[in-house]
Amino acid sequence: MPSPDRTRYDTPIKRRAFKVLLFLLVFLTGGAIINIAVAWGCFPGQPDDWRVIENNLDIDQSHLTKLGLPEFQSVDSDMLRSFGFVDSDYSTFVDPNINKYQFVYARETSCGWPLLSLHGIRWGPITYSENLKHHVFTQEHIRITAIHLSDVGDKVILGEREFLPYGPLWPGFAINTLFYAVILWLFFAAPFTLRRWRRVRKGLCPKCAYPVGISDTCTECGKPVRSP
């Protein structure tokens, strides 16, 4: 059986803790929503907005194979970047003795601001055609952490704006969420916090602005004005 003194403070403490947790949940959820919206809004409008910043030959394929992509003898990559957006094309020669042309077999994108926070990848599986005597696409795209939107080719998501990334990219997703949560707090909570601080400095009740006397509670609204 709890003591009377402890019971006296149990309810206010629990209520305050619940309010703090609810406050954090609301602002973190809002920060996450803004984070995703900004990331999806960072795609460039047209492919010619991109700028090639790096070309690599025979790259390390370990991170691609971990995502479930097949391993080839050699893979080259072209990295393209715009504001809040990084896109990589991966290409390879299937077999120089059979098939001379180069093709893109995977496309990976990351987006977000101030840090990259979302990630998506898609790739087109290939098979060897006995009739044609070379490798061909299976006319199928495998999507990993990417949503298929449409087959319209005049837009740009993962190359054609057909695949929207949704996989969280850590720690960027967490940092961006906190960043936007703080901005939300500044817009919505900071003005009330500043008003409360100014009222306390002037000797007024922080809730109703009634002058505070010697009582521990406001004589106008009944709100406690001093910590017990």
In a domain, 134, yes or no: yes
Q: Check whether residue 45 and residue 121 sit in a common domain.
A: yes
In a domain, 169, yes or no: yes
Q: Check whether residue 162 and residue 198 sit in a common domain.
A: no
Q: What residues make up the domain containing 214?
A: 191-228
| Confidence (pLDDT) at 44 | 67
- CB-neighbour burial class of residue 138 (10 A; exposed 0-12, middle 13-18, buried 19+): exposed
The DSSP element (H or E) to which 81 belongs, if any, is strand 76-82
Measuring CA to CA, which residue among 160, 158, 156, 154 is closest to residue 144?
Answer: 158
Q: How many separate domains does the chain show?
A: 2
Return the C-alpha torsion angle 67, 71, 75, 79, nearest 10.
0
| Confidence (pLDDT) at 55 | 83
Q: Check whether residue 199 and residue 223 sit in a common domain.
A: yes
Q: Check whether residue 199 and residue 171 sit in a common domain.
A: no
Q: Check whether residue 100 and residue 204 sit in a common domain.
A: no
In a domain, 157, yes or no: yes
What is the rounded CA–CA span in Å between residue 70 and residue 187?
48
Q: Check whether residue 203 and residue 138 sit in a common domain.
A: no
Angle between helices 4-40 and 172-188 (to 10 degrees): 110
In a domain, 228, yes or no: yes
In a domain, 4, yes or no: no
Q: Check whether residue 170 and residue 127 sit in a common domain.
A: yes
Q: Check whether residue 68 and residue 92 sit in a common domain.
A: yes
Domain stops at, among 146, 175, 204:
175
The residues, any chain, with a CB within 8 Å of residue 226's CB and separated by 6 or more, are: 216
Q: Check whether residue 83 and residue 150 sit in a common domain.
A: yes
C-alpha pair distances (Å), 192 with each of 25, 152, 221:
19, 48, 18
- pLDDT tens digits along 29-81: 999 999 999 998 887 655 554 556 788 888 898 888 887 777 877 888 888 88
| Confidence (pLDDT) at 152 | 47
In a domain, 214, yes or no: yes
Q: What is the pLDDT along the chain (228 residues), one digit of tens a residue?
A: 455 555 554 577 788 888 889 989 999 999 999 999 999 888 765 555 455 678 888 889 888 888 777 787 788 888 888 888 888 888 886 665 655 455 667 888 899 999 999 998 887 777 767 787 766 666 666 777 877 665 544 334 444 456 778 899 999 999 999 999 999 988 887 788 888 888 888 888 887 877 877 777 777 777 777 644
Q: Are 126 and 136 in contact (CB under 8 A)?
A: yes
In a domain, 32, yes or no: no
Q: Check whether residue 74 and residue 129 sit in a common domain.
A: yes
- CB-neighbour burial class of residue 66 (10 A; exposed 0-12, middle 13-18, buried 19+): exposed
Strand partners, 1: none
| Confidence (pLDDT) at 183 | 94
Q: Check whether residue 165 and residue 195 sit in a common domain.
A: no
| Confidence (pLDDT) at 37 | 93
Q: Check whether residue 158 and residue 220 sit in a common domain.
A: no
Q: DSSP assignment of 104-149, as one string? A: EEEEEEEE-SSS--EEEEEE--EEEETTTTEEEE-S--EEESEEE-
Percent helix, strand, coil in the chain (nearest 5)?
30, 25, 40
